[in-house]
Structure formats: structure tokens, C-alpha cells
């Protein structure tokens, strides 16, 4: 039961600002990661940070990332440099009585570590399945699986979820006591991500039904 | 007219993977930034990348970021280290006939540079106004503006939009010719971010009307 193992933060994965917003339950880390579509991968390239959005998948306490074998960021991460991977959900705009206390409600997971280039063929398939199923549940078995050429063009990285933190803000604004009498509306405007109507590929034969895996997809 | 000045990418801001998705119009950079709520700020701390979500505001070709004067990432950025700031919108899940060609439709802006700690009082107010108005249009004038103590607790950083890139994917999946005959649904499931019903602060006097600046807020 990895979910029962609490997050054991190191110095850099200890939430310092707004520590009351830190969560230490591994199940919350998994929940924040599982609810996301993209994360932001940070690597150091020539001494400077590079932050790029990327899809991902999770299997237990392993996060899988992939990309072209030619991508500089993937190559840098695969070479064993430190990485940071962050997934953020914005849940609301927090309107306060003062400009200073305006804020956002959010859930955020930050993972620090060193990525491992996966070369075991079985784990590569498992990681790619996790990635595909994370993005599009049901698609791994419903579609053509990767062939030899596609596998050769894909770099798969594994990132252990050992060193991670979760930060969550919920609820109304934290206005100063002295401002509570101001005649200013305060509260939260909820923000959420939704899906629209499926748009069939123009090359699809007319009348091809939209499968349940697409119709039931929520984000 | 800064919007007329094309993006002049350096080596690191040149889109290499999927170069056909690169956009070079400065107006597109502004549009992607203006449509976002949070960006992901990457800095290098003790040789390792740290990627954290943060609000921002834009004034012309200057991006403003802020945070507590005590935040380690803000301090590192303010000290003149290189930063990367990335804003990503996910616009759709792209279902392909093969697992390999599954993808996302998205808009992404990546800014590289060195942040400048703003200490001029007038520019500090301008930057904080840009930040507040970006998050909650209309709130800067409708709410109590920062007092001396709040200003002292806030670090404001400016990041020039000189070195930036924009990457956009739209449209149906890019399946292989050989897969077009497979009996597999393909297309796009649009994803978008919406707002819900405003939730008044429990401390607000009953009957306080929700102002237009909140009712008309779209994200």
C-alpha cells in the first residue's frame, strides 16, 4: 500500500511558504497527479532552467514521461541530471477585499528527482501503456500498439515519486480583520476544466460511432 | 507596436521538435500569456531545477511575477539567475488510430531570461496592478490597494519577453497513412476551462451583490 506511506520530504520538498497548505498524504499526491493532463518538466540545460509541458502516466510510485529520442530536454533528463516535475490544477479565483489578499485556489504536486532512462522492453511497454491510458483511458487496447520503429523513436523516462510535495489552497479569501467592513464583494469564482463534444477526424468513414472511452472521458 | 515585432528566437528559444507548430508572431505570444491564470516558473537552486506555479501579469513586453520576499525561488530569481517561465493551455485530447499518434492540442509560451527585481515604487505599483488585473480584472480599483507593510512583504520581478517561443497544436490526429483503414475512432475531444457560480465569502453581509467584474470573468 504505497498510498499509506506518507510523503517524506527532504529540505527542497518541504513546503515553506504557506506551510498550512501542505499535504503529506501519499494518496493526495497520487490524486493530484492522476487528475492532470500535462505536467511541467524542469531540467537544467547549459546552467539555465528549461520548463516544458509534457504528458505523463503513473504506475504505483513511478511516474513515466516520454518524448522523442531527439528532444534536448529528454536527453538532458535521461543523462541523469536533476529534474523537477510539477502538476498544477487551478480551482478558483479568490476575490478579496484587498488587492494583496487576492489569490487562487489550487492543487499542486511537485516531484524532485533524477529520471531513469527505461530500456527494459517490458517496462517500456508498461510505461507507454500508463502514458496512453492516463491521457486517453481505454486507448491502449483499442488502438494499434507501438511498432518497432515507433518504439525506437521514443525515449521513456521513469521518475520515482519518493521526493515530492503537495500544496492545496481551498476556501474563501483570507482578508485582514480590519478590511471585513469594506463594502467590497469577496469570495471565490470556481474554475474547472471540462470536455466538449467529440470532433471526429475528417478522414473517418461517415457514421463511425464515438466509443464509450471517448464519450465517458472527463478531465 | 510591440506586437508587430516578431519573436527573435535564440538557440534555446527555437522550437526544434515539431517545428511546424512554432509561431513567430509576438501577438500570439501575448495572446497565450494573456489567456492563462498560472505559469510555471523554473529556476536553478543548488544546481537542480525547481518548477513552481505562479500568477503573473503583463504590461507590454514585460511580464511581472510576485511573491513573498521570503520565498526561496523568488529570491533565487531576483538574485539574477536564469529563469524560464512557461504558460500552457490544453485545448484537446487527440485520439489517434495508433497509441503512438495520441497527442494533445495545446498552446504553449516559453520565456527565457533573467528576472529583474523591481524597486522603483511607481513600477512596483504598475506591476502589482498588472498582476491583480490579470487574475481578477477590475479588482485593482475596486478593492483596497496595498499598504506599506504589504508592499514591504512583496517581491516584484520583471521578466522581459525578448527571448520567447510559442508552440501550438491544433486539428485532428496525424495518423499514418497505413492506419487510416483501421476500424478505430479518431478525432479530438475538446478541453476547455470554464468558471462556475461565484461563491460569496461567508463573512460577507447577506445580500451583497456580486459585481460585474466577477460575473463577467471568463478564463
HEC states along A83-147?
EEEEEEEEEEEEECCECCCCEEEEEEEEEEEECEECCCHHHHHHHHHHHHHHHCCCHHHHCECCC
Which of A100, A194, A214 is facing B192, going by the closest CB pair? A194
In whole angstroms, what is the distance from residue A110 CA to residue A134 CA?
Answer: 18
The verdict on a CB contact (< 8 Å) between B50 and A82 is no
Instruction: Kindly list the residues from chain A whose CB atom is less than 8 angstroms away from the CB atom of residue B12.
Output: 45-46, 48, 50
Residue-wise pLDDT for A76-119, tens only, equals 888 999 999 999 999 999 999 999 999 999 999 999 999 999 99
Pairing between β-strand B187-195 and β-strand A199-200 as defined by DSSP bridges = antiparallel
> Which of A28, A74, A103 is CA-nearest to residue B67?
A103
Would you call A71 and B40 a contact, using CB atoms and an 8 Å cutoff?
A: no
Of the candidates B37, B83, B172, the beta carbon closest to that of A49 is on B83
Domains of chain A: 2-215 (2.30.110.10)
What predicted TM-score, i.e. pTM, was given to this entire model?
0.94
Give B113-164 as a DSSP string.
EE-EE---HHHHHHHHHHHHHHHSTTHHHHSBPP-HHHHHHEEEEEEESSEE
pLDDT tens across the length of chain B (219 residues) = 344 466 756 777 777 667 677 777 899 999 999 999 999 999 999 999 999 999 999 999 999 999 888 788 888 888 999 999 999 999 999 999 999 999 999 999 999 999 999 999 999 999 999 999 999 999 999 999 999 999 999 999 999 999 999 999 999 999 999 999 999 999 999 999 999 999 999 999 999 999 999 999 999
Of all residues in chain A, what percent are helix, strand and coil, respectively (each to 5)? 25, 35, 40
Per CB-CB distance under 8 Å, the chain A contacts of B115 are: none
d(CA B51, CA A86): 6
Is the predicted ipTM greater than 0.90, yes or no? Answer: yes
Amino acid at each position: 500500500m504505497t498510498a499509506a506511506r506518507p510523503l517524506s520530504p527532504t529540505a527542497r520538498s518541504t513546503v515553506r511558504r504557506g506551510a498550512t497548505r501542505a499535504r503529506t498524504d501519499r494518496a493526495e499526491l497520487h490524486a493530484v497527479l492522476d487528475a492532470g493532463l500535462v505536467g511541467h518538466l524542469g531540467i537544467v540545460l547549459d546552467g539555465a532552467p528549461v520548463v516544458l509541458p509534457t504528458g505523463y502516466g503513473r504506475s504505483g510510485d513511478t511516474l513515466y514521461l516520454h518524448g522523442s529520442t531527439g528532444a534536448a530536454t529528454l536527453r538532458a533528463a535521461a543523462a541523469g541530471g536533476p529534474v523537477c516535475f510539477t502538476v498544477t490544477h487551478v480551482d478558483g479565483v479568490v476575490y478579496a477585499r484587498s488587492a494583496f489578499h487576492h489569490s487562487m485556489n489550487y492543487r499542486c504536486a511537485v516531484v524532485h528527482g533524477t529520471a531513469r532512462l527505461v530500456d527494459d522492453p517490458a517496462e517500456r511497454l508498461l510505461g507507454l501503456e500508463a502514458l496512453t491510458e492516463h491521457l486517453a483511458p481505454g486507448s491502449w487496447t483499442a488502438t494499434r500498439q507501438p511498432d518497432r520503429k515507433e518504439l525506437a523513436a521514443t525515449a521513456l523516462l521513469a521518475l520515482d515519486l519518493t521526493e515530492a510535495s503537495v500544496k492545496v489552497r481551498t476556501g474563501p479569501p483570507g482578508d485582514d480583520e480590519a478590511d471585513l467592513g469594506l463594502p467590497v464583494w469577496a469570495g471565490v469564482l470556481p474554475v474547472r476544466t471540462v470536455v466538449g463534444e467529440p470532433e471526429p477526424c475528417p478522414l473517418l468513414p461517415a457514421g463511425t460511432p464515438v466509443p464509450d472511452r471517448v464519450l465517458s472521458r472527463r478531465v
